[in-house]
Structure 1
Amino acid sequence: MKRTELKRKTPLKAKASGIAERKPRQRKCDNPACDVKFTPKIGQKVCCWQCGLAIADQPANQKKARMAIDQRERREIKERREKLRSHGDYVQEATSAVQAYRRVYELSIGSGCISCGKSQAEIEAAQGWKTGGAWDGGHFLSKGARPELRLEENNIWLQCKGCNGGSAKYARKGESVRNGFRAGLIERIGLEAVEALEADHRPRKYTIDELKQITAHYRALLRDLKKQETQL
């Protein structure tokens, strides 16, 4: 037997359920010359367009309007710039974030240059005058030769600017820096881990969203690390 759905002829009133019916809250018009109270819509501050025009020329409202316009323009400019950015821009941004974190972390635990083995005090005395400081987050396997490892923490270590920046200019220096880097890395993580890193050719094809997440993650780690240092 088919059941028929019971339909209520009159809607259930709020009082019948024991819930008091709520009335919309009213507000006073923002126009000082108007004492009208009205039920506003979202964001509505005046009761009518005439009152809106009446208070539009007030200095406080003009300042708010300029700020709102400036915020909108900045937001639009940011959105346009975001659309113009390439995948490579996001890769570079993520790389910089990982390098910055690794550099500050290694400095925080007292590490020296992984290539030449000099201490922080020695490097600061000799290279502290350099633009951007004396230190970099250097890649063991270069970004050009091994791009798949550019975001791997085990491939980024504290390196003085003299070793990191000058190694590509001179073949003999480049070789000595690479050999020193490898020897220093073996001391830190062991030969087996170094050989595993050298043999790792797995492709890493990050999406833009993944690169944004990596950037945000390492920037957050860097902020936390700097905060901890200030509390010591």
Structure 2
Amino acid sequence: MLATKQPKPKICKNPACRGSFVPQRMGQAVCSPACAMIDAPRHEPKARKALAEIERKDIKVRKEKLKSRGEHMREAQQAFNEYIRTRDQAAGHMCISSGKPLDWSGNAVDAGHYRSVGSAPHLRFDERNCHAQSKQDNRFLSGNAVDYRIGLIARIGQDAVDALESDQSVRKYTVEEIKAIKATYRAKTRELKKGQAA
């Protein structure tokens, strides 16, 4: 039995690519359909668009790899906070600390933590510890902790508040865990928004 000759690798003829590839058929001069379209003048706008899309995806992947743990944590916190605001808006909750109606029309609502992220970082993604709160109470009244506790007991019960207050565990999130948290809360927010739209 004769051995079939394997094709030799070639260099893509597309000047923008010039990547190495193994031809799949005789006469193949470029590595992919996107590179082939660049050589055809009638397909030039499509080819440019396809190439731009490939470059955008590549840049996105490279940027993701360059992100620090802190950047991932910030993005996860933003996703979590957006979920908390969406959850409490869907439930029609008032401000957790003042009991006043929240202004959902602008940017006047925060996701306020009962135990702050600085003092209890292990509770930063605990849904019992975070509720929609007016910016006035969260930022200018330092969280309005006394009234927050009263509102929290009314919302989740004394036992749950006691559990939050006594929780002194230590938690160090890995980058993969942080990415998973971000993805989870983005998905939960999308689901809530879909439910509101329906």
> Which category of TM-score, normalised to the shorter sequence, fits these structures?
0.7 to 0.9
Q: Are 1:77 and 2:44 matched, yes or no?
A: no
Q: Aligned partners of 1:59 and 1:219: how far apart in 2?
A: 41
Which range moves more in the overlay, 199-208 or 109-118? 199-208
Q: Aligned partners of 1:109 and 1:65: how far apart in 2?
A: 48
Aligned partner of 2:41 in structure 1 is: 58
Q: Aligned partners of 1:215 and 1:106: how far apart in 2?
A: 19
Q: Deviations over 1:96-120 (max 9, x none)?
A: 1111111111111111001111124
Identity %: 42
Q: Aligned partners of 1:111 and 1:65: how far apart in 2?
A: 51
Q: Are 1:137 and 2:120 matched, yes or no?
A: no
CA displacement at 1:91 relative to structure 2: 1.2
CA displacement at 1:48 relative to structure 2: 5.2
Letter in 2 for 1:204: R
Q: Are 1:119 and 2:101 matched, yes or no?
A: yes
Structure 2: segments with no counterpart, 5+ residues: 2-22, 30-34
Aligned partner of 1:200 in structure 2 is: 167
Letter in 1 for 2:65: K
Q: Deviations over 1:9-53 (max 9, x none)?
A: x9xxxxxxxxxxxxxxxxxxxxxxxxxxxxx93xx6x8554xx99
Q: Aligned partners of 2:157 and 2:61: how far apart in 1?
A: 46
TM-score (norm 1): 0.66
CA displacement at 1:153 relative to structure 2: 0.6
Aligned partner of 1:146 in structure 2 is: 120
RMSD between aligned alpha carbons? Answer: 2.5
Structure 1: segments with no counterpart, 5+ residues: 1-9, 11-39, 169-173
Larger Rg: 1
Aligned partner of 2:86 in structure 1 is: 104
Q: Aligned partners of 1:75 and 1:189: how far apart in 2?
A: 43
Map residues 34-49 of structure 1 onto 2, 5 A cutoff. 41=24, 47=27, 49=29
Q: Aligned partners of 1:164 and 1:150: how far apart in 2?
A: 15
Query: How many residues in Structure 1 have an aligned counterpart in Structure 2?
Result: 171
Aligned residue among 167, 176, 192 for 1:225? 192
Q: Aligned partners of 2:136 and 2:28: how far apart in 1?
A: 69
Q: Aligned partners of 2:28 and 2:189: how far apart in 1?
A: 51
Q: Aligned partners of 1:201 and 1:96: how far apart in 2?
A: 24
Q: Aligned partners of 1:230 and 1:95: how far apart in 2?
A: 25
Q: Aligned partners of 1:110 and 1:64: how far apart in 2?
A: 47
Secondary structure of the residue that 2:100 maps to in structure 1? Answer: coil
Q: Aligned partners of 2:71 and 2:28: how far apart in 1?
A: 49
Q: Deviations over 1:69-110 (max 9, x none)?
A: 212321232122112211111111111111111111111111
Q: Aligned partners of 1:64 and 1:192: how far apart in 2?
A: 61
TM-score (norm 2): 0.77
